A and B are shown apart, each in its own frame.
Chain A
Amino acid sequence: MSMIRHGYVAGPLIGLFWALVVATSVAVAFSFATGGAYRPGGLFAALLGAGLGALAVTSPRLAGPAGLCLGAALSITPLSPVVTGAEVSGWAALLAGGAAGAATGWPVAAMMAGCPAGALTRHEFEHAVIRFLTGFGYVFFTAIVLIPFYVMVMTSLKNQSELIRNPLDFSVDLSKGWDLFRSYSELFGQFGFGGYLWTSFLVSVLTVIITLLFAVPGAYAVARLRFTGRAAISRSILLIYMVPMIVLALPIYIAFSMAGLRNSIFGIVLIYPVTTIPVALYMLQGYFRGLPAEIEEAGLMDGLSRLKVIWTITLPLSMPAMASVSLYVFMIAWNEFLLAFMLLDDPSKFTLTRGIASLNSSEIPRQHLMAGSVIATVPIMALFLGLERFMTRGLTAGSVKG
Chain B
Amino acid sequence: MTARPPETATGPIGRHGGAERAEPAPPQGRNPLERREARLAWGLLLPTVTAVALVVILPLLAIFWISVKPVGLADLRPPEPVVSEDLRGRPEAVGDEATLRYRLRNSSPDQPVANVVLTDLLPEGLEIGALDPRCTLEELALRCELGDFAGGHRETLEIPVTIGQAFADAGMELPDSPPGLTGRSANVLTSGNFTFENFARIFDGGEFWGVLWVTLVYTVFGTIGALVFGLFAALLLDRSFRGQGVLRGLFLFPYVAPVIAVAFTWIILFDPFSGSANALLIQMGVTNEAINFFGQRPLALIMVILFEVWRYFPLSFLFILARMQSIDTDMYEAADMDGASPFQQFWYLSMPQLLGILSVLFLLRFIWTFNKFDDIFLLTGGNAGTRTLTVNVYEQAFAVSNIGAGAAVAVVIFGCLLAFSYFFFRFLSQEEGL
Contacts and interface: CB of A to CB of B under 8 A. Distances in A.
B260 A337 contact: yes
A271 B55 contact: yes
B360 interface: yes
B423 interface: no
Given A168-B283, A251-B66, A402 B357 contact: yes
A376 B414 contact: no
A222 B318 CA distance: 26
Given A225-B41, A248-B60, A277-B51, A231 B66 contact: no
A396 B248 CA distance: 14
A166 B279 contact: yes
A163 B403 contact: no
A144 B310 contact: yes
B421 A239 contact: yes
Interface in B301-346: 310, 315, 318-319, 321-323, 326, 341-343
Nearest to B416: A244
Given A138-B247, A377-B257, A32 B276 contact: yes
Interface in B60-105: 60, 62-63, 66, 76-77
Interface in B245-281: 245, 247-254, 256-262, 264-266, 268-269, 271, 273-276, 278-280
Contact of A400 (B34, B189, B361): B361
B342 A126 contact: yes
A274 B51 contact: yes
Nearest to A254: B76
Given A40-B284, A251-B62, A226 B1 contact: yes
A198 B265 CA distance: 23
A334 to B, nearest CB: 7
A277 B55 CA distance: 11
B52 A353 contact: no
A278 B283 contact: no
A392 B318 CA distance: 7
Contact of B406 (A213, A250, A257): A250
Interface stretch (B16-24, B194-202, B389-397): B389-397
A86 interface: no
B236 A247 contact: no
A137 B230 CA distance: 11
Interface stretch (A49-57, A60-68, A176-184, A379-387): A379-387
From A37, A145, A147, A231, name the one whose CB has the most chain B CB atoms within 10 angstroms. A145
Given A225-B37, A254-B189, A274 B342 contact: no
B373 interface: yes
Interface in A231-268: 231, 233-235, 238-240, 242-248, 250-252, 254-255, 257-258
Contacts of B13: none
Nearest to B50: A214
Contact of A164 (B247, B274, B393, B420): B274
Contacts of B368: 242
A395 B248 CA distance: 14
A229 to B, nearest CB: 8
Given A244-B390, A380-B256, A167 B250 contact: no
A225 B275 contact: no
Contacts of B432: 400-401
A248 B257 CA distance: 24
B410 to A, nearest CB: 4
A221 interface: yes
A376 B262 CA distance: 10
A379 to B, nearest CB: 10
Interface in A264-321: 271, 273-275, 277-278, 281, 306
A208 to B, nearest CB: 15
28 contacts: A39-B285, A126-B343, A130-B342, A164-B274, A166-B279, A167-B275, A167-B276, A167-B279, A218-B44, A218-B49, A225-B41, A226-B1, A226-B3, A228-B38, A243-B60, A244-B373, A246-B413, A252-B55, A277-B51, A335-B259, A337-B260, A372-B261, A377-B257, A380-B256, A384-B252, A392-B252, A396-B319, A402-B357
Given A248-B63, A278-B52, A377-B262, 12 more contacts: A148-B266, A217-B48, A226-B1, A238-B424, A238-B425, A247-B59, A335-B260, A380-B256, A388-B248, A388-B252, A396-B322, A400-B357
